[in-house]
A and B are shown apart, each in its own frame.
Chain A
Amino acid sequence: MHELSLAQGLVEQVQQAAAAEGALRVVSISLELGQYSGVEREAFEFAFPLAAEGTCLAGAELVIREIPVSVLCNTCHRESNPVIPLLICTHCESTDVKLIGGREFLVKSVELEIEEE
């Protein structure tokens, strides 16, 4: 399960951002997760609290937006979201397509608790 090492990586990244802002703790983390990122959402959600334990991310909520696979058609030049695993253009059914989305695994933003001056 590589999701635990990914969760540890996320914790380190967010710790840096929290420290830079002088945050007390992390309230929530917004992520984008592509269907073809190679990351299993449920496994990641399971691993995250283990990685966050004992850090300022403990108890933080994960807000995950799933990004569907998208392809660009070389025949009709339109984008579409095929039903995976079949990579075809949903407009013209061409198989001459390029994978342009769905590999993402991004941390978009973090909500931090900051002490008042």
Chain B
Amino acid sequence: MCLTCGCGEANEHHHTHEGDAHHHHHDDHAHTKTVTLEQKVLAENDTYAQNNRAWLAERGIVAINLISAPGSGKTLLLEKTLEALNGKIKCAVITGDQQTDRDAQRLAGKGAKVHQIETISSCHLDAHQIAHTLPEVCEDGTKLLFIENVGNMVCPTAFDLGESFKIALLSTPEGEDKPIKYPVLFATAKTIVLTKMDLAAALEWDLPACRQYVQQVQPGAYTFELSAKTGAGMDAWLDYLKRLIQ
């Protein structure tokens, strides 16, 4: 029954009973043994991630793993960022969605090489997918790689991609208290970008309250407030990106 470990190969030791399709009877000629592993469950992913990190470091590329809820403005922020940096800083983008290449289409023609990963059933990008994509998307001279993760605030936080660091986005329509509801992401992202600030007044969205929640889950967290749509706050964001690659 167990093709991989061959545990069912001795058929005389393996009886099948009604309603009990995988029940081994090793009777008194077997014993148990405890084997220490001390491995990360994500060891395979982490090996790819370490290789990705080394590959990027050799080429001096800063890689940002962008994680946030669907619809929080990752793609629009990237569109505006690529437009602003076009001809100044060579960028590349890996973008993940369950289906379609709509994000890649939106990001095309702005001076950056863009690659879409369709994850189909998966809720996150993993380091293996990134490993396959890096050589194609990072052309010579690339300084900044944006990895736009699948829109999801939970699953992508468990998978190291080999990025330099994570950046979390939080859009005003999501409410001020998202950081304490999804603390793993907001505690582990290097920087938190508050997006759709142009809607804050209409939503009666409370900036000081949101900042306080961010500080609770990550004291000292670095935050930006911006609107990719109106351009407010974009200069500070672009300056931050320029400083990253110096």
Contacts and interface: CB of A to CB of B under 8 A. Distances in A.
Given A38-B157, A99-B188, A106-B40, A55 B5 contact: yes
Interface stretch (B18-26, B70-78, B138-146, B223-231): B18-26
Interface string B1-14: 11011111010010
B43 interface: yes
B219 to A, nearest CB: 3
Nearest to B185: A38
A67 interface: no
A58 B123 CA distance: 26
A37 B41 CA distance: 11
A47 B31 CA distance: 28
- Size range of the interface on B? 35 or more
Contacts, number: 157
Contacts of B23: 59
Nearest to B38: A108
A106 B41 contact: yes
Contact of A86 (B43, B124, B216): B216
In the complex, the 3 A-B pairs of residues with the closest C-beta atoms, listed nearest first = A38-B158, A95-B219, A85-B183
15 contacts: A2-B124, A13-B44, A53-B22, A85-B187, A86-B216, A87-B187, A87-B217, A88-B219, A105-B158, A106-B39, A106-B41, A109-B36, A109-B38, A114-B30, A114-B33
